[in-house]
Structure 1
Amino acid sequence: MNRVTLVAAARSSALLDERFDDDRPLDGAGWHAVELAAHTLVPLGAAELRYCSPSPRSRATGTALGYAPMAQPALRDCDMGRWRGRTLAEVTACEPAAVDAWLADPWAAPHGGESLLAFITRIGGWLDTRPADDGSSILAVAEPAVVRAALVYALKAPPAAYWNVEVRPLSTVTLTGAARRWHLCLEAGSWSGPAAA
């Protein structure tokens, strides 16, 4: 049985300024949160395989924690097409019907990028192609959206459940199992991360 621990990247902006497919580096609060969480998160670096999303904040989080992770293109955030770099509020002001369609239909991609279902399937595909059931421990620092998608896939939840999963910066979750047989493993004493600002 493999063990995959996902660490949500530290923040790169205040909650209200979060942007789709954001490529900004960690902000000051993000660096500070990494320092506070390091004593709990650094030991996770003992995993045999260490990966990260290719985003600047995921790479910086992994590097700051001493993981020396290898960037995995498959762990990139959802491709948000023409909405990339914009906030939800900005897009809603310009394209309210498109936002409604995107939130209601997991197959919809009104932004011209990736649908929610395609995103969840891509992240699930990455999980399922980890080394065979050999007991490997795997660590991945990823965007919170990637962690949400992984949880929905692992639990075989309907895609709409994605909107009901909150993943805070620097929170961790562990999945155990192998291809298409994943289980959520909750452990006592794990770092839950600071509250969103």
Structure 2
Amino acid sequence: MAVRVTFVAAARGSSLLGERFEDDRPLDQAGWDEVQRVAHGLVPLAAAELRYCSPTPRSRATGDALGYAPLVQLALRDCDMGRWRGLTLGEAMAREPDAVDAWLADPRSLPHGGESLLTFIGRVGSWLDTRPGEDGGRIVAVAEPSVIRAALVYALKAPPATYWNLDVRPLSTTTVTGHAGRWNLRFDAGAAQSTLM
């Protein structure tokens, strides 16, 4: 039974250089402006039978601004970064350079005391694999870019290190179509999204 899950990356709440681990800041004015600029292309996704979002303020606000009225899914929360929560990568590196290097090199590592990258990818993948729906059913999920990257690594059965090479931009869309254990990547010509089918 194949379902279609379209991930919408939450609008940003800060500049990319100011991104923080488990960032709970709301949308800034630039984020609101971005939502307004692209809304015409994303509003039709509200027709999905099921609409979800990450629990972050900017994911909820993005989904609400697009008319999705999404249901918060705790499984779509960002990676638990333990004592690094709220820090930028640069701040964590300044405090614990060896620990950051270990975390970036080993997906099982959790020097921050939170969740390993491997566990994070598995949690998001489990959510994806258990989506309800009938054959051809449509789902939309507004999530943090990190969550979408984890979903892509899981769906593609890619090595965990692939996570660091995926660039998910605010308000971009990525669609996965299939069922547990069966996902394929397809790029549509002329489309501004990547599609897994």
TM range (shorter): over 0.9
Match of 2:88 in 1: 87
> 1:11-160 to 2 correspondence within 5 Å?
11-131=12-132, 134-160=135-161
The whole-number CA distance in structure 2 between the counterparts of 1:66 and 1:97 is 44
Deviation at 1:28, TM superposition (A): 0.8
- Amino-acid identity (%): 72
Match of 1:168 in 2: 169
The whole-number CA distance in structure 1 between the counterparts of 2:72 and 2:43 is 18
Report the aligned-residue RMSD: 1.2
The whole-number CA distance in structure 2 between the counterparts of 1:116 and 1:159 is 7
The whole-number CA distance in structure 2 between the counterparts of 1:129 and 1:47 is 17
TM-score (norm 1): 0.94
The whole-number CA distance in structure 2 between the counterparts of 1:132 and 1:70 is 15
Deviation at 1:131, TM superposition (A): 1.4
Alignment-mate amino acid for residue 186 of structure 1: F
The whole-number CA distance in structure 2 between the counterparts of 1:84 and 1:4 is 29
Deviation at 1:58, TM superposition (A): 0.2
The whole-number CA distance in structure 1 between the counterparts of 2:176 and 2:192 is 16
CA displacement 1:83-125 (0-9 Å, x = unmatched): 0001111110010000000000000000000000000000000
The whole-number CA distance in structure 1 between the counterparts of 2:40 and 2:190 is 12
Stretches of structure 1 that go unaligned for 5 or more consecutive residues are 193-197
Alignment-mate amino acid for residue 167 of structure 2: E
**Change in 2 beyond 3 A, CA 1:74/1:56:** same
Alignment-mate amino acid for residue 91 of structure 1: A
Stretches of structure 2 that go unaligned for 5 or more consecutive residues are none
**Change in 2 beyond 3 A, CA 1:31/1:132:** closer
TM-score (norm 2): 0.94
CA displacement 1:19-62 (0-9 Å, x = unmatched): 00000000111000000000000001111000000000000000
The whole-number CA distance in structure 1 between the counterparts of 2:88 and 2:36 is 27
- SS of 1:7's partner is strand
- SS of 1:33's partner is helix
**Change in 2 beyond 3 A, CA 1:56/1:171:** same
Match of 1:195 in 2: none
The whole-number CA distance in structure 1 between the counterparts of 2:191 and 2:24 is 27
- SS of 2:184's partner is strand
Report if aligned partners of 1:133, 1:178 keep a CA contact under 8 Å in 2. no
Report if aligned partners of 1:172, 1:190 keep a CA contact under 8 Å in 2. no
Alignment-mate amino acid for residue 156 of structure 2: L
Paired residues, what number?
A: 192
The whole-number CA distance in structure 1 between the counterparts of 2:191 and 2:63 is 17
Report if aligned partners of 1:176, 1:185 keep a CA contact under 8 Å in 2. no
